[in-house]
Amino acid sequence: MSTKLPFLSFLFFASSLIASNAFAQSEPVSRDRLVGHWEGTISRGGKNWRTWLDIKQQGDGFQGTADFPDYGLYAFPVAVRFDEGKVRISVLEGKEVAEFDAKLNDDEMSGQWKGLNMTAAFQISRKEMKPLESYIVEEVQFQNGNAKTAGTIIRPNKPGRHPAVVFTHGSGNQTRAETFYRSRAYWFARNGIAALIYDRRGKGASTGEGNVTWENLADDALAGVAMLKTRLGINPKSIGVSGFSQGGWVAPLSATRSKDVAFILVGSAAAISPNEQNDFNVESVLRDKQVPEDRIKAVMDLRRRVSRFQFGADGDKDELQKQIAALKNERWFPDTLLNEQIEQFDTALKVYMTFNPVRAWEQVRVPVLALWGERDLAVPARKSREIINLALKTSNARTYDLREFPKAGHGLSINREKDEASDFPRLVSGYQELMVAWTQKMVAR
């Protein structure tokens, strides 16, 4: 149910092989050559991966950000160092490291890039003498009952009252630091739409105790909507809620609980219960890993019997745990989502796992954009699209656009067949642009 995808940390090392005496004579001239907005590509085997850098001088040093738009990664802070004619630009995220060695010639850098277990050519050119200043970042707090939520508003660096989107979370302990979560907000702000991201309740700098319910997750998002309505620079009548993966359950529910939600934007939204979605995920992943069909059938049968026990129907706990233990040496055991120790669900967890999203979708009246990848292994894309389409017809929603992208997986990134040629990781074409264009159209009404 998580939208989390693998991210790479990047270490770019530019070795300046400069013939110009004017450049070599003084450090200030060299520093001036670093400042600005840069665009280019990493290239290998006819495949290009776009790279953007924005570098500005900060005191005696530099600050900057890096964007990798083909994979939907934006505004990563970079460390910039200049030492004896060499430039080192590093984006530190995770444990993996890539390296870039290049010549700096006037307004261009080019050379060899190493990362992603490959070596590739790199070329980047300065497009502007100043870095782009496309957004303003503001730290905020807002309250839902006894839960205090820590968040960040990223808004366009332009005058006026802007539309806004509150981004809910996928599953897991997500905070504002989550790679794709924060990147989506910066992408919207770059395109004129303010965004609110926040630490999930009880995680990061946010508080919140007790059982997590779908209602309090939805109300957390609505507390963000209420806070945005009071902010200068935000159009209080044009605030939507977005959710990807697990957020695809939260976003429509929030719209049924408040008239302040102007639109809904969801991706990889399951139109079935969390319990059913887990079963679909396990079966799809095991089949994708070419586990024999008889083994898949046995796992799914075991999962159903474990589920009956957890919901308190029947089952021998010791016998079920024994059967689970018999599978744990299989290479694909983690993909079964079976815990070696099982317990019966309490009432709150039963309600959580059997949540029916259709009831929420049947009450939605605001505009909806819902996106799926046809190769999603976590969510039944086509089935969910059909169910939500029927529910929105029932609700008489004003307008909705439901789309399925070929070759895309759960995070709307390209999910290649095993025999396809290697390529850089990238989002499916048109997905990011569609989200922004649709939102701009809805708020312009």
32-46, 183-197, 398-412: lowest mean pLDDT where? 32-46
Higher pLDDT, 210 or 292: 292
Higher pLDDT, 56 or 196: 196
pLDDT at residue 105 is higher than 90: no
What's the confidence (pLDDT) of residue 18?
28
**Strand residues in 230-376 grouped as ranges (E):** 234-244, 264-267, 368-373
The 10s digit of each residue's pLDDT in 411-428 is 999 988 878 888 899 999
Instruction: Kindly state the percentage of the chain with pLDDT values over 70.
Output: 89
Q: Walk me through the domains of the chain, giving residue ranges and CATH numbers.
A: 10-128 (2.40.128.120), 135-273+355-443 (3.40.50.1820), 274-351 (no CATH)
Q: Average of pLDDT values for 347-375?
A: 97
The 10s digit of each residue's pLDDT in 146-187 is 999 999 999 999 999 999 999 999 988 889 988 889 999 999
Q: Average of pLDDT values for 306-310?
A: 97
303 band by pLDDT with thresholds 50, 70 and 90: very high
What's the confidence (pLDDT) of residue 225?
98
Give every strand in the sheet of 10-15, ordered side by side: 10-15, 86-91, 73-83, 61-68, 47-58, 36-44, 118-128, 108-115, 99-105
* Dist CA 167 CA 195 (whole Å): 7
Given the structure tokens 């389409």, which residue do they identify? 389
5 band by pLDDT with thresholds 50, 70 and 90: very low
Highest mean pLDDT among 31-35, 65-69, 77-81, 105-109: 65-69
pLDDT at residue 94 is higher than 60: no
> What's the Cα-to-Cα distance from 246 to each of 5, 252, 280, 367, 372, rounded to whole Å?
14, 11, 14, 20, 13
* Dist CA 344 CA 95 (whole Å): 38
CB 401 within 8 A of CB 368: yes
